[in-house]
Amino acid sequence: MSVSSSTPRHDLPSMNTPHVRRSLARRAFIRRAAAGTVITAMGGGLYYLADDLLMGKAQAMTRADGRPRLPPGQRLIKALKPMGGVPGSPSPSDFRLRVHGEVRRPFELDFKELLAMPQTQLAVDVHCVTTWSMFDAEFKGVRVSELAERAGVKDSAHHVIFEAAHGYTANVLIEEALAPDVLVAHRHAGRPLARPHGAPVRAVVPSLYFWKSPKWLTGIRFVHRDEPGYWEVRGYNNHADPWLEERYS
């Protein structure tokens, strides 16, 4: 879930314990997000689920690694769905990205410097924990591996912490963060990122549920010890593999 910041309810006063309240709220959030054939997104946009024929074809597809292209429990939609959150500044002139932590050459980029780095355009499948998936979502940006090489990541780094506006973080294993399809993206579907999708820059980590792809990105921090992020400390799975349905801890 580009849950870079969508907020499920945690305010069910009739329940007796915080644990039960959180569990019921998460389930209700997913039921609301997946219900019906038309999903109404923040801002009034309509996001249509794929028709039965397309769904059938998607369910029959496999990836190069042998896994089904559509992970279990997912429904296909035709457009990337914004998932809310408290936005950072959408202005490219305000953008700064820190690459720091367990690195030999920490640095900071502004937007023009990001555009001056080698650019990669990919069509990737993305999967939200609220059960929607989109195939062939087009993103353009800089590979995290390029930034890591420039920074000189130390052997002591085992995890990557993506940092975003208002203190949001998401933790990813370093080998997954450095995969060739992981981007610091500034364009989607041939256009600059829209504000609901994290303008001017977001992370894209397609192998994990989409909350691991923070919007309004501000930093990439390489760390030795894992640091569970915003959603992970609120009951979501620390790893978030869609094919294992690692939704909750």
Residue 13 lies in a domain: no
Residue 63 is predicted with a pLDDT of 85
Phi/psi-derived region of residue 152, left when phi > 0, alpha when psi is between -120 and 50, beta in every other case: left
Residue 215 pLDDT level (bands cut at 50, 70, 90): very high
Residue 5 is predicted with a pLDDT of 41
Which residues constitute the domain of residue 27? 18-244
Residue 146 lies in a domain: yes
Residue 175 is predicted with a pLDDT of 98
Residue 26 is predicted with a pLDDT of 52
Residue 3 lies in a domain: no
Q: What is the CATH number of the domain that holds 44?
A: 3.90.420.10
Supply the mean pLDDT for the chain. Answer: 84
Residue 3 is predicted with a pLDDT of 45
210, 3 Cβ separation under 8 angstroms? yes
Residue 58 lies in a domain: yes
Domain count, the chain: 1
Residue 230 is predicted with a pLDDT of 96
Tell me what the mean pLDDT of segment 220-236 comes to: 97
Residue 11 lies in a domain: no
Burial 42-59 (b: 16+ CB within 10 A, else e): eeeeebebbeeeeeeebe
Residue 1 lies in a domain: no
Residue 238 lies in a domain: yes
pLDDT in tens, 124-182: 999 999 999 999 999 999 999 999 999 999 999 999 999 999 999 999 999 999 999 99
Residue 25 is predicted with a pLDDT of 52
Residue 64 pLDDT level (bands cut at 50, 70, 90): confident
For 138, phi then psi, to 5°, come to -90, 125
Residue 81 lies in a domain: yes
Tell me what the mean pLDDT of segment 112-121 comes to: 98
Residue 43 is predicted with a pLDDT of 32
pLDDT in tens, 2-43: 444 433 322 223 334 454 455 455 545 444 444 433 333 333
- Cα 213 to Cα 16, 17, 19, 156, distances in angstroms: 33, 31, 26, 23
pTM attached to this predicted model:
0.80
